[in-house]
Structure 1
Amino acid sequence: MKKTYRGLHYPLTFFALFGAFQLVYAQSSMCGNPFTKAGNGPYDFRTAEPGKRSVVENAHFTADVQTMRRGASTKNLAADIAYTLKVMPNHHQALLTMGNWSLKTGSNPPIGAEYTVECWFDRALRYAPDDAMVKVVYGIYLIKRGKPQEAVNQLEAALSQAGDNANVHYNLGLAYVDLKQYDKALESAHTAYRLGFPLPGLKNKLARAGAWRELPTTK
């Protein structure tokens, strides 16, 4: 099917694609440009020189900020996290802390954060699309936020980048449990524990749902 505007003919797929582009553009505009100069950054958290990292972390992402006790350079703890994420958009622990602080305070964005938690993850994903750990941390946040299907999407993408990773399989299993997809959750659990993941939480959740099964022993 085609629509006609002033003698021009457009397939409906054009409008669907254009609409999707507009949505992505609106999201990126709303969340700002992660490549904008900030301090002596931005730079990739994974490859940043230790000296550059310490300049930011010692002033803004201190132990007090990371454990959500108090701010460092300001009374608004989220402002220190936000500055850290402007300089290092894919700072894994800062992303995790921003999400946890939002959940703890019940505010999104938290006071001083400037952007929503989802925006900070959007910025990280655009800045470092090859960073599987950003997707893992986002998946963990989405599980806590009660959005298991969105969590699965992020964690499956992380798995495709990171390969067999115990942490990814474990959190993917938690998301599957929330979706009541117990067969997939059990498979993820077995893989996570085979790879050495130490926490029993996923196994316990499956057991409470009556879905835990030990792998058959091989002789």
Structure 2
Amino acid sequence: MRLLATLCLGGLIGVTGAVPALSANNAAPWVGTTFRGTPCRGEWMNYGPYDYLQRNAIPEKLTIVERHHFTPAIEQLVAGEKVVPNIDYTLRAWPNHHRALYSIIRVYLMGNVRLGQHKGSTPECYLQRALNYSPEDPVAHMLFGIYLQRKGKTEQAMKMYQQAEKLDPMNMQVKYNLGLLFARQGDYVAAREYARQVYNAGFPLAGLRERLQSANQWQGVLSNNSASPD
């Protein structure tokens, strides 16, 4: 699936400093609209919500959900019709759970109704709820950018990537996605600058390099004392 080429799962780290845990009294309302213009809606629950950026401070809360709902089979989308209901439960408890957000994006881009796609909400609704709940989360912004880009909403995707970069200026995954988007828009000056930053930092994905090479825009991107990512 092409989406996987634009996301390095090892980069979904986010900010994990030890901060006070959120209580279940901090609401995470459903906000915004679907791409079709209907209000975002979803079920409520008595567990959570908890901020994924605070997961290191409250690991036991995360373990409960990941052990029983966001299992490896659910994350890998191989649990049949149980996939979406369990991702939905995870995101209702942890609205900005990065890997669960990425999983629901994958489900909808695959269009696999066998996964129970008719249940739960849509990716844009989960993502809007996540950003409303945790507006300082750079990874949630990046994930929304990836989804918007895949849905052809390029200008909105650019804004999401740029906000993610503002929140986390050293996040190479964000810079990589910005570079890809600039390259696809034909802005090779910006794309080359982002490529220089990410590959001089040792970023592993080759898609941006390959796109620049195919456009004859790769030469001179890397500094002389930097190893090639080949």
Give runs of aligned pairs for residues 114-193 of structure 1, distance below 5 A: 114-193=120-199
How high is the TM-score relative to the length of structure 2?
Answer: 0.73
Select which of 203, 209, 222 maps to 1:197.
203
Structure 1: 5+ residue stretches without partners: 1-24
Report the CA distance shift for 1:158/1:26 in structure 2 as closer, same or farther (over 3 A): closer
Q: 1:3-35 deviations in whole A, cap 9, x for unaligned?
A: xxxxxxxxxxxxxxxxxxxxxx763982248xx
Paired residues of 1:155 and 1:171 also in contact (CA < 8 A): yes
Q: Taking structure 1 as reference, are residues 64 and 209 closer, same or farther at Cα in structure 2, changes over 3 Å only?
A: same
Q: In structure 1, the residue corresponding to 2:121 is in which secondary structure?
A: coil
Of 55, 64, 67, the match for 2:73: 64
Partner of 1:30: 39
TM-score by length of 1: 0.77
Distance 1:207 1:40 in 2: 49
Paired with 1:163 and 1:125, the residues of 2 have a C-alpha distance of 18
Which residue identity lines up with residue 44 of structure 1 in the other structure? D
Mapped to 1, the partners of 2:94 and 2:222 lie a distance apart of 46
For 2:133, give the aligned amino acid. Answer: Y
- Matched with 2:93 is 87
SS, match of residue 54 in structure 2? coil
Of residues 50, 54, 58, the one that matches 2:63 is: 54
Q: Relative to 1, partners in 2 of residues 1:190 and 1:40: Cα closer, same or farther, differing over 3 Å? A: same
Query: Which moved further from structure 2: 112-121 or 155-164?
Result: 112-121
Higher-helix-fraction structure: 1
Contact 1:95 1:121 in 2 (8 A): yes
Distance in 2 (alpha carbons) for counterparts of 1:144 and 1:83: 25
In structure 2, list runs of 5 or more residues that go unmatched: 1-30, 226-230
Q: Name the structure 2 match of 1:17.
A: none
State the 1:92 CA deviation.
Answer: 0.3
**1:139 and 1:151 in contact (8 A); partners too:** yes
Matched length: 189
- Alignment CA distance shift 1:150-1:106 (3 Å): farther
RMSD (Å) for aligned C-alpha atoms: 2.6
Q: Are the counterparts in 1 of residues 85 and 119 from structure 2 also a CA contact under 8 Å?
A: yes
Query: What do residues 46-80 of structure 1 show as CA deviations (whole Å, max 9, x unaligned)?
Result: 21311111111111110001111115xxx341111
Specify the alignment match of 1:41 in structure 2: 48
Q: Which amino acid aligns with 2:218?
A: W
Output the CA distance in 2 between the equivalents of 1:94 and 1:26.
20
Q: What amino acid is the match of 1:52?
A: K
User: What are the superposed Cα offsets for residues 140-169 of structure 1, whole Å, 9 maximum, x if unpaired?
Assistant: 223333333322111100111101221111
Alignment CA distance shift 1:27-1:217 (3 Å) = closer
Kindly, what percent of the aligned residue pairs are identical? 33
Measure the CA separation in 2 of the matches of 1:179 and 1:154. Answer: 16
> What amino acid is aligned across from residue 171 of structure 2 in structure 1?
N
Change (3 A) 1:153 1:61: same
